[in-house]
Structure 1
Amino acid sequence: MLQALREKAQGWIAWVIVILIALTFILFWGSGSFLSPDTQSSGSTVATVNGQKIMLQELESRYETLSQQNQSVSKLDSSLIKKQLLDSLIEEKLLIQTSAKLGFRVNPTRIEQIIYESPLFQQDGQFSAEVYRRVLYGMNLNDKAFRSLLTEQLLQQQLFSSLAYTSFVVEPEIDSFVKFYTQKRSFKYTIVHRKDFIDTVSVSDDDIKKYYDENTAQFYTPEKIAVEFVRLNADELKAKFHADDNQLRAYHKENSALFNEPERRLPAHIMIQIPRNAEADLEAKAKEKVQDIQAKLKAGESFDSLASQYSDDTQTKQQGGKLEWIVKGEIGLPELEQAIFTLKKGEVSQAIRTDYGIHIVKLLDVEAEKIHAFETVKDKVLAAMRERWAEDEIVNLADQLANISYDHPDSLLPIADKLGLTIKHTELFDRALGPADQDLNAKAFIEAAFSDYVKNDGNNSDLIKLDDKSYVVLRISESVPAAPKDFASVKDDIKAMLIYEKSNAKTMAQAESLLEAIRSGEHSELLAKQQWTEKSAIGREDTNVDRFLLTSVFDLPRSTDNKAVAELSQLENSDYAVVWLTEILDGTQSDLAVDIPGVQEHLVRQMGELEFKLFGKELNHSAKIKNNYS
């Protein structure tokens, strides 16, 4: 079980880093210096959580990041999205506060290990300071901010582990799950094809013209514009950076943790599973079992064989209880970690009590901290310094770019002359699709281009953060207004749409007639004329049955009054299936493709996640929260 915990923690941490980069865990550090004046307001507090403030800047940054990663967000109600993001921020603050109160901690060495071993920060299989800086720069985070943020996420993970991974399930719950998961169903179905009704509907020219006249707004060519722009790019600045040997050595000394590897230890354990709240007789039996194992160890029996024979950790017992290499602060179990980092190589611990049970630990091996001399990582140091310099330099140049554009709002030439930038041009594009150049196809770029200030007033745009490494200023070079499409160009499209709507309505009506005949018990000639396909003992994951059809089958309830159970299912091709359930076969343990311990672990994990969610709701209920956002 400890191995499972470690693997879950490692996997969770990997996803934390991915999410940090990709979506919502970028906090207020992520907005740089280019927030709007309203966002920058120092007194703008959107919520307080037990006295801890959440600033509008932090909320706006999350929304900005979410919008950049998912363009469809801009089409949704921004106030609703921000309320959901604020709820998430409040929950995180509560979890971090609770973790601190319970004494959880994150060893800085653990942070080093995560950073050093993450594939996201590696080049050719090795940690790269340059890649690390580049990724953090892409997140608008510096090293200190990223470490702080990662520490908060690890604290939450430790809290989650202490609650979620101590759950348990009883035999009846396992039986119920097996019956449900391995259940099979027999059914028959018939398809009502839309194509059979296409020739039965007619659409006149008057129908088409009437639809066109009543829905003219649907048939416009959108407004299009072309822009000219100047762009700053961080990657292009790196070639201008130079550092002497003394500067490189100083940077290496100040940031040695980025280039070194922390001490690692390889433990094995024997675990007797027993929850802390177990009944006294069960606790006594567990302790007796541990004492028996300790006696056998003292008598000379091997740790490996005893782990294979007695350990309840199914994932490690066949390997003699062997875990994986760990560093301090990694496993979230202070009692166990203390033993692992106190033992000498080859030593065996006394009995250790955790939320999982009672452990006996043996230290198999130790790898000392690896200190990399400056000469061996000199190139990496230079790359890291270059990355950081480019970070700072682009901020300075972006400020200049914004100021020059403000002073000369009617032209890009002064910007190009003073900063040595090239004026570039786009082709015509509309608001929905954006520029053909995907590097420019960002929400901020499109909104600026179509703003009244730029499009109608003829001004340069404000400074735009195009992506995580570049900034632009643009202005309109050409504009083509929206115009209605002529009737002849859309006539065939309208006709096809109207035929589809009418034939679909007839298809659905026919299917509903069949469904009503089944439910009423009137097995009329209507049902007899249909061609029915029968399926026997089909599982819920069968890949040979249409997925829409299969979902409908397993959504159907059991019959409670001996009446037929049936439903309609519209398929991907717009046909309708009439599904008639004929038998439900509950599963048994013999139907499982995995063993019962695997099922038990799955259910324990689900139960633990549910308990953690309920714990979060209880924290929210008992906390002093003031939400000022509306």
Structure 2
Amino acid sequence: MITFFRNIFSSKIGLFLTMCFVALIAIAFASADVTGSGAFGGVTGSGTAAQVGDSKLTTAELSQSVNNAFRAEQRENTGLDLKTFVEGGGFDGILDRLINSFSIAAFGNKYGMTAGKRLVDSEIADIPSFQGADGQFSEENFRRALQQQGIKEQQLRDDFTRNLLADQLLPIAGFGASVPQTLVTPYASLLLEARQGQIAIVPSAAFIENVTPADAALAAFYSKNSSRYTIPERRTISYAIFSKERFNDKIKPTEKEIQGRYNLDKAKYAASETRNIDQVILPTQAAAKALADKISGGDTIGAAAESVGLSVAEVGSINKSALAGTASQAVANAVFSAPSGGVSAPAQSALGWHIAKINDVQKVPAQTLDQVRATIVSDLTREKVDVALAKLTVTMEDEFAAGSSLQDVADAEGLKIESTPALLANGQNPEDQNYRPIPEMQRILPIAFSLEEDSDPQVVEIIAGQQYAILDVTNITEAAPPPLNAIKPVVTRDYMLDEGSKKAKVIADQIAKEVSGGTALSEAVANAKVKLPNIENVSSTRADLARQSQQGQVPPPLSLMFSMAENTAKTLKAQQNQGWFVVNLNKINRGDASTRTDLLNATRAQFKQVFGNEYTEQFINAMKADVGVERNEDALASLKNQLTGGN
């Protein structure tokens, strides 16, 4: 089901729905809060998560979508565990998006909109992972991808159908959104606002005592902060790699097959002739004959054609059958009857009368079977190996589905099984920082981490049509913090920083209070009677802040400075308990964009996107109200508890 969201957010409408105005407003598709009615009406049973019109969103579909989204996120953030993902809004976000997509489809169907089978087929065929080495849709790759992701074909088709209906319905909601000038000017002026201030830091290290902490205090700190040290889920993978080279000495074409291929391609090996020609096409036979006589008399074909207001077409090298196909058989006969260097007799096609100058004649004699045997053997061998490799992978998949183990299949095919240590989803080994996975793990790991604990072994394509692997997840180590003794030096360091941070906060609060009361920051720092780093003077504009935000590089103290009142001071905790910032805002220079046409136009365009998103969101809410949405809160709570390990 997650395919729907990957597609919609990569589409034009998806991008439209997720755009926002700098960092001020963020409205994304399906972000609306959907609340169920007090009574659940006709929806009963733990198998239904929500009733949307006449359709049911099952708990199984919702669970699969949440797990797929979690696995995709985990590949980017290896420290993420399912409980954190669910409790951090992943569950509710996926639920809302699914309800929205079901509602859009139900609304479209209710009012006669459809997405036909052919259109869905064409969308599916465009997915790169469903295509073969030739770039065409591959039924084998399609079935394998569905099996690896645990998705049924009908589920995928339903996803695409809903996506296509959304593409038809949603763009109209935000089209032509208008923005009043009275709203545009103040926000555009904000980008020109400049602020000046000072930043001091009170480091935690300045307050650390050179005393070993008590074991009880260290244990209490570790227990409270155990999530900080949690090692993400790790998996031990057993695998065996094989390639098409295993058939090189086993598959040889027979003499009968070689003779059969030669007979099949006999036309390719027959004697052939190509001619390099330039031609002119004229409206009448008489005009063509007159032009041919000029050329035979010594004029070049170019000069002759130019004398009657025509131009020469440089056909190049062509064989007789190709010329017959592009012109006519009569033209081909005339051209291939003329001598090299001569001019062909006028011959007619649908375009007119042709004459051609024969620039060169290339004749290739017929090739005997012995002459082309090596080529035929190579082609047949390659084809037979490809068939054998494809048959082998299908056989392996059937064996796994029938209950065979990885060891059974490996023994039967003479493959050597290798095993990895317990790896993170990105291939790292937390117990050995020098460990480097084999290159093939780039393809193996995503599949291994998508499997459930009791899943069958899998066949994975490493290099399309050339290299494969069979794999099984032999052990799953759930995300958990290591024993305290194993990381005691790290925890001790963090504990001491935490204690130092508490003392640093007292000093930082004291400095901020004095500054807010009118004392200069430099004087307040001196009053603290603690040696602190030098104060830093800062000056920036909101436009600079917006640019830094797009690059993800905004320093937190600078961001805080743009949310403060003039002549005030605030404290801000530094990352990883490194200390506390004291931010003092001295001056605000208000911006005025009333004469900045470029900035006003850019702001208006961004607001149009925001307004369009808002209209689209409201349209989705209206569609949900029209078709009716009922959530089974008991089933949802039960599923969420199951995913997070609750009772």
User: Normalising by the residue count of structure 2, what TM-score does the alignment of the two structures yield?
Assistant: 0.51
2:398 corresponds in structure 1 to 396
C-alpha distance in structure 2 between counterparts of 1:211 and 1:586, whole Å: 52
Give per-residue Cα distances to partners, 1:372-418, cap 9 Å, x unaligned: xxxxxxxxx99999999889656523212x2x35xxxxxx6545445
C-alpha distance in structure 2 between counterparts of 1:53 and 1:223, whole Å: 34
C-alpha distance in structure 2 between counterparts of 1:183 and 1:553, whole Å: 15
How many Å apart are 1:85 and its aligned residue? 2.6
Q: Does 1:203 align with 2:210?
A: yes
Query: SS where residue 607 of structure 1 aligns?
Result: helix
2:558 corresponds in structure 1 to 550
Would you say the 8 A contact 1:234–1:391 is kept in 2? no
C-alpha distance in structure 2 between counterparts of 1:496 and 1:144, whole Å: 54
User: Pairwise mapping of residues 231-310 of structure 1 onto structure 2 (< 5 A)?
Assistant: none
Q: Does 1:56 align with 2:66?
A: no
1:31 corresponds in structure 2 to none
C-alpha distance in structure 1 between counterparts of 2:178 and 2:490, whole Å: 59
Would you say the 8 A contact 2:459–2:471 is kept in 1? yes
1:583 corresponds in structure 2 to 588
How many Å apart are 1:588 and its aligned residue? 0.7
C-alpha distance in structure 2 between counterparts of 1:495 and 1:131, whole Å: 57
1:168 corresponds in structure 2 to 178
Query: SS where residue 539 of structure 2 aligns?
Result: strand
1:614 corresponds in structure 2 to 618
Q: Which residue type is aligned with residue 593 of structure 2?
A: T
How many Å apart are 1:99 and its aligned residue? 2.2
1:189 corresponds in structure 2 to 198
Distance 1:121 1:187, change over 3 A: farther
Query: SS where residue 170 of structure 2 aligns?
Result: helix
How many Å apart are 1:574 and its aligned residue? 4.3
CA RMSD between the two structures: 5.6
User: Pairwise mapping of residues 75-474 of structure 1 onto structure 2 (< 5 A)?
Assistant: 75-76=83-84, 78=86, 81-106=90-115, 127-130=135-138, 133=141, 137=146, 146=156, 148-180=158-190, 182-194=191-203, 198-205=205-212, 207-212=213-218, 214=220, 229=238, 395-400=397-402, 402=403, 404-405=404-405, 413-418=407-412, 422-427=416-421, 437=437, 438=441, 441=445, 463=456, 472-473=471-472
Q: How many correspondences in the alignment?
A: 427
Distance 1:399 1:204, change over 3 A: same
Give per-residue Cα distances to partners, 1:253-285, cap 9 Å, x unaligned: xxxxxxxxxxxxxxxxxxxxxxxxxxxxxxxxx
Would you say the 8 A contact 2:247–2:385 is kept in 1? no
C-alpha distance in structure 1 between counterparts of 2:201 and 2:400, whole Å: 62
How many Å apart are 1:603 and its aligned residue? 1.3
Distance 1:213 1:57, change over 3 A: closer
C-alpha distance in structure 2 between counterparts of 1:423 and 1:236, whole Å: 18
Query: SS where residue 562 of structure 2 aligns?
Result: helix
Structure 1 spans left out of the alignment, 5+ residues = 1-7, 17-23, 26-41, 245-380, 406-411, 450-460
Would you say the 8 A contact 1:553–1:579 is kept in 2? yes
Query: SS where residue 196 of structure 2 aligns?
Result: strand
How many Å apart are 1:184 and its aligned residue? 1.1
How many Å apart are 1:548 and its aligned residue? 1.5
Query: SS where residue 172 of structure 2 aligns?
Result: helix
* Larger RCO of the pair (alpha carbons < 8 Å, separation 6+): 2
Counterpart of 1:629 (choices 622, 633, 636) is: 636
C-alpha distance in structure 2 between counterparts of 1:615 and 1:69, whole Å: 29
1:340 corresponds in structure 2 to none
Q: Does 1:70 align with 2:94?
A: no
Q: Does 1:46 align with 2:39?
A: no
Distance 1:589 1:102, change over 3 A: farther
How many Å apart are 1:484 and its aligned residue? 5.7
C-alpha distance in structure 2 between counterparts of 1:434 and 1:440, whole Å: 19
Q: Does 1:603 align with 2:612?
A: no
1:335 corresponds in structure 2 to none
How many Å apart are 1:92 and its aligned residue? 1.0
Would you say the 8 A contact 1:129–1:384 is kept in 2? no
C-alpha distance in structure 1 between counterparts of 2:574 and 2:597, whole Å: 30
Query: SS where residue 188 of structure 1 aligns?
Result: strand
C-alpha distance in structure 2 between counterparts of 1:617 and 1:536, whole Å: 41
C-alpha distance in structure 1 between counterparts of 2:72 and 2:60, whole Å: 18
C-alpha distance in structure 1 between counterparts of 2:231 and 2:524, whole Å: 50
Q: Which residue type is aligned with residue 609 of structure 1?
A: N
C-alpha distance in structure 1 between counterparts of 2:422 and 2:127, whole Å: 42
Would you say the 8 A contact 2:193–2:542 is kept in 1? yes
How many Å apart are 1:553 and its aligned residue? 1.9
Distance 1:576 1:10, change over 3 A: closer
C-alpha distance in structure 2 between counterparts of 1:59 and 1:210, whole Å: 44
C-alpha distance in structure 2 between counterparts of 1:213 and 1:382, whole Å: 65
C-alpha distance in structure 1 between counterparts of 2:211 and 2:568, whole Å: 41
Give per-residue Cα distances to partners, 1:12-62, cap 9 Å, x unaligned: 27979xxxxxxx99xxxxxxxxxxxxxxxx993332212212233322321
Query: SS where residue 62 of structure 2 aligns?
Result: helix
1:506 corresponds in structure 2 to 503
Distance 1:91 1:64, change over 3 A: same
C-alpha distance in structure 2 between counterparts of 1:223 and 1:599, whole Å: 43
Indicate the structure (1 or 2) with the bigger Cα radius of gyration: 2
Give per-residue Cα distances to partners, 1:312-344, cap 9 Å, x unaligned: xxxxxxxxxxxxxxxxxxxxxxxxxxxxxxxxx
Give per-residue Cα distances to partners, 1:564-618, cap 9 Å, x unaligned: 333223455645142315214133144465561x433321121111122123234
C-alpha distance in structure 1 between counterparts of 2:232 and 2:70, whole Å: 23
Q: Which residue type is aligned with residue 527 of structure 1?
A: A
Would you say the 8 A contact 1:549–1:569 is kept in 2? yes
Distance 1:612 1:419, change over 3 A: same
C-alpha distance in structure 2 between counterparts of 1:537 and 1:413, whole Å: 64
1:541 corresponds in structure 2 to 546
2:518 corresponds in structure 1 to 521
How many Å apart are 1:10 and its aligned residue? 8.7
Q: Which residue type is aligned with residue 172 of structure 1?
A: T
Counterpart of 2:493 (choices 492, 496, 501) is: 496
Would you say the 8 A contact 2:508–2:581 is kept in 1? yes
How many Å apart are 1:174 and its aligned residue? 1.9
Report the identity percentage: 12
C-alpha distance in structure 1 between counterparts of 2:475 and 2:541, whole Å: 65
Distance 1:599 1:543, change over 3 A: closer
Which range moves more in the overlay, 382-391 or 68-77? 382-391
Distance 1:551 1:150, change over 3 A: same
Distance 1:589 1:385, change over 3 A: farther
Would you say the 8 A contact 2:131–2:138 is kept in 1? no
User: Normalising by the residue count of structure 1, what TM-score does the alignment of the two structures yield?
Assistant: 0.53
